[in-house]
């Protein structure tokens, strides 16, 4: 639908379905291309999984808690000719994570690679030079394959005819394509605890390190090579600052309005129908999970069943605890490992709940943002990886998981955590599915539990329907904040100018 703007010139309308982080970023890029952009969001708030809430004096970031590759946020402001620092500020963390095992071994992973390697040698007995060699290998995988698989559309011949791809093909033996993450880590590191530490990076895209390809060992470089960061006002500042930028550019957000169908005219997009009205449009970009996009919004379009039936990524069960005590031994990010990692991942992907001994992740933003909790208290975001929702009774499972978590943490802290929890909230896979339309509550769309996973993800456009595009964690290049931002970048580069 060609409209006339206030300047008297003609412009095309783009509708973005969903105001998750990829939807917001896509709306900014489409607006900068010259489209009139309307973003429709079913919830009363933007951000999708990257949302926030307050309870009894505590502030909690409800979803993603790790911030890497901030340049992809800054890039959006730079493209708009804005100074990112007038909208959004963040700090680089001097440490990436604190690790704990049940036998009492624990250490802090410094952001400095040499300090990290020295601490590993001190605590685990693995020579520092072996750790540095492993981190260099991760960087090499990033240099050879990162820009291809993260920043380019894989369904375009232009991508595969580039010099970058030719260089990567000549170095296939360095990409660990034919081994699993675990096999590659075990061969490189040997030490069981350090192997477990590097295996955990599979959870960054909801996968199983015992099946996911070794090329995913690219992920440690994002943390140890580039660094981890925290927005000064918490993770939700990413959402709020990008929404502000989008609105400053003229993007219109309409909340509490659910899209019910993508309208077609032949093999071309014509607009959308919501629960309130019909909107005409020249293009539609769905930030909704690709499975419900087909199942609910495109009822008369043949769905790509092979892609939609791929194994989903893991989900999460999250406890939000207001803790009336401060723990000096904890930092912003903390991992408490299970004794049998292999069994834990088998349980997750075979749908076994509750896991007997889940790995526990605790994020505490009040360590850096004191106002997130009352004086002398901490806001704990406590997460365990769980299977996707397949009709489990999560209300019955919540107390069982809570019992496992408490029994795991109490001996390490020498306290009774039950007495310290003064407020609590939870988020289950079913909640995630309802709130964000993520199929089964999967956090990252499909898993990467095969060497072909990257090629099986849905592309960012529809090969047969003109004007239909996709962005977000369920399509290429995948889930997590950096990849969602990159999906918006990829899709904007394949969308024609109006």
pLDDT band at 125 (very low <50, low <70, confident <90, very high): very high
Last residue in a domain, options 427, 446, 476: 427
Q: In terms of DSSP bridges, do strands 468-470 and 283-286 run parallel, antiparallel, or are they unpaired?
A: parallel
With pLDDT > 90 as the criterion, what percentage of the chain qualifies?
A: 88
Is residue 487 a part of any domain in this protein?
yes
Is residue 32 a part of any domain in this protein?
yes
Average pLDDT, the chain: 94
Measured from the Cβ of residue 229, the count of other Cβ atoms closer than 10 Å reads: 16
Specify the pTM. 0.94
306 and 443, same domain (yes or no): yes
163 and 211, same domain (yes or no): yes
- pLDDT at res. 43: 97
Tell me, rounded to whole angstroms, the distance of Cα 39 from its chain centroid.
21
Is residue 415 a part of any domain in this protein?
yes
83 and 98, same domain (yes or no): no
299 and 199, same domain (yes or no): no
pLDDT, tens only, 412-470: 999 999 999 999 999 999 999 999 999 999 999 999 998 888 788 999 999 999 999 99
Last residue in a domain, options 399, 427, 455: 427
Q: Is the pLDDT of residue 222 over 70?
A: yes
pLDDT, tens only, 257-277: 999 999 999 999 999 999 999
CB-based contact 239:24 (threshold 8 Å): yes
Q: Give the burial string for 155-176 (b: 16+ CB within 10 Å, else e).
A: bbeeeeeeebbeebeeeeeebb
Last residue in a domain, options 206, 226, 246: 226
For the record, the structure tokens of 182 come out as 């675990």
Is residue 433 a part of any domain in this protein?
no
286 and 337, same domain (yes or no): no
Long-range pairs of 126-130 with CB within 8 A, sequence gap ≥ 24: 126/189, 126/190, 126/191, 126/194, 130/188, 130/189
DSSP per residue, 356-421: SS--EEEE-GGGT-GGGS-TT-EEEEEEEEEPPPSS--HHHHHHHHHHHHHHHHHHHHTS-GGGGE
216 and 362, same domain (yes or no): no
Is residue 260 a part of any domain in this protein?
yes
66 and 120, same domain (yes or no): no
Q: Is the pLDDT of residue 3 over 60?
A: no
Is residue 432 a part of any domain in this protein?
no
56 and 113, same domain (yes or no): no
Question: Where residue 264 sits, what CATH number does that domain have?
Answer: 3.50.50.60
Distances (CA, A) of 190 to 184, 196, 218, 309: 10, 10, 19, 36
Domain count, the chain: 3
- State the residue range of the domain holding 343: 314-387+390-427
Is residue 454 a part of any domain in this protein?
yes
Which residues 6+ apart lie within 8 Å of 442 measured at CB? 206, 312, 313, 314, 315, 388, 429, 474
pLDDT band at 10 (very low <50, low <70, confident <90, very high): low
471 and 455, same domain (yes or no): yes
pLDDT, tens only, 157-183: 676 667 766 666 666 666 777 899 999
């Amino acid at each position: 639908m060609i409209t006339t703007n206030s300047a008297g010139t003609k412009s095309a309308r783009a509708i973005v379905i969903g105001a998750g982080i990829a939807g917001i970023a896509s709306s900014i890029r489409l607006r900068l291309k010259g489209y009139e952009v309307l973003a429709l969001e079913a919830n009363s708030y933007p951000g999708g999984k990257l949302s926030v809430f307050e309870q009894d004096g505590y502030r909690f970031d409800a979803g993603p808690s790790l911030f890497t590759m901030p340049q992809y946020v800054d890039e959006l402001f730079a493209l708009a000719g804005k100074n990112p620092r007038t909208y959004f500020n963040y700090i680089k963390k001097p440490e990436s994570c604190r690790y704990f095992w049940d036998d009492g071994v624990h250490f802090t992973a410094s952001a400095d690679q040499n300090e990290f390697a020295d601490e590993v040698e001190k605590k685990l007995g693995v020579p520092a030079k072996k750790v540095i060699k492993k981190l260099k290998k991760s960087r090499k995988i990033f240099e050879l394959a990162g820009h291809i698989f993260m920043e380019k559309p894989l369904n375009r011949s232009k991508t595969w005819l580039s010099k970058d791809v030719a260089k990567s093909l000549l170095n296939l033996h360095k990409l660990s394509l034919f081994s699993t993450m675990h096999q590659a880590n075990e061969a490189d590191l040997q030490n069981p605890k350090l192997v477990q530490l590097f295996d955990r990076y599979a959870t960054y895209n909801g996968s199983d390190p015992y099946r996911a390809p070794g090329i995913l060992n690219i992920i440690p470089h994002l943390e140890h090579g580039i660094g981890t960061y925290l927005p000064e006002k918490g993770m939700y500042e990413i959402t709020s600052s990008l929404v502000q930028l989008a609105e400053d550019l003229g993007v219109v957000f309409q909340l509490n309005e659910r899209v019910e169908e993508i309208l077609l005219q032949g093999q071309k997009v014509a607009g959308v129908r919501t629960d309130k009205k019909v909107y005409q449009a020249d293009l539609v970009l769905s930030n909704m999970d690709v499975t419900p996009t087909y199942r609910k919004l495109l009822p008369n379009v043949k769905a790509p069943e092979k892609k939609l039936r791929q194994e989903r990524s893991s989900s999460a069960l999250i406890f939000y605890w207001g803790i009336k005590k401060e723990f000096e031994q904890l930092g912003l990010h903390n991992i408490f490992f299970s004794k049998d990692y292999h069994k834990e991942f088998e349980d997750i992907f075979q749908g076994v709940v509750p896991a007997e001994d889940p790995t526990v992740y605790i994020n505490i933003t009040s360590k850096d943002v004191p106002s997130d909790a009352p004086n002398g208290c901490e806001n704990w975001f406590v997460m365990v990886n769980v299977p996707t929702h397949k009709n489990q009774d999560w209300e019955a499972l919540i107390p069982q998981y809570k019992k496992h978590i408490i029994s795991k943490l109490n001996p390490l802290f020498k306290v009774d955590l039950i007495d310290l929890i003064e407020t609590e909230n939870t988020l289950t896979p079913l909640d995630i599915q309802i709130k964000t339309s993520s199929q089964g509550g999967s956090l990252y769309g499909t898993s990467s539990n095969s060497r072909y996973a990257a090629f099986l993800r849905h592309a960012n456009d529809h090969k047969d329907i003109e004007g239909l595009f996709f962005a977000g964690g369920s399509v290429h290049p995948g889930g997590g904040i950096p990849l969602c931002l990159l999906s918006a970048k990829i899709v904007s580069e394949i969308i024609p100018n109006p």
